Amino acid sequence: MPHSNPETHVIDFRAAEHLLAARDPRGAVKLLDPVIAAHPENTAARLLRARAFFAAAQLRAAELEFTIVLEREPDNAFAHFALARTYQRAARPDQARRHFRLAAALDPQPDYVAAAAFDDAPQGEAP
């Protein structure tokens, strides 16, 4: 196993951000797995991996990661919003509605408020 260090993990995290932006969520997950294995408490890496799972339509994995982030940061409006989108894609509207509303309550930005106001929230951008 190659030696890993914090500097390598920062580089992998940044590369994973670029892969996700370039629509390669599976590549991003591969880079983030060892980062999270070494630093399981790293919420930013978990949030990025959750977004990658969502983009790869791995909804159960995305749900798990977003949930872990929210256990650590219950006031993270983006994580609530992204978890709501995950539930929405998984056809779980009651859970989606709850998290859309929490996101809007924590951060009343227009996207969150709009999503919270309707039973069938708009599809819009991916998390």
Convert the chain into a string of H (helix), E (strand) and C (coil): CCCCCHHHHHHHHHHHHHHHHCCCHHHHHHHHHHHHHHCCCCHHHHHHHHHHHHHCCCHHHHHHHHHHHHHHCCCCHHHHHHHHHHHHHCCCHHHHHHHHHHHHHHCCCHHHHHHHCCCCCCCCCCC
pLDDT grade for 6, boundaries at 50, 70 and 90? confident
**pLDDT > 90 fraction of the chain, expressed in percent and rounded:** 85
The residue with greater pLDDT, 55 or 122, is 55
**pLDDT > 70 fraction of the chain, expressed in percent and rounded:** 89
The residue with greater pLDDT, 79 or 122, is 79
Arithmetic mean of pLDDT over the chain: 91
Residue 127 is predicted with a pLDDT of 64
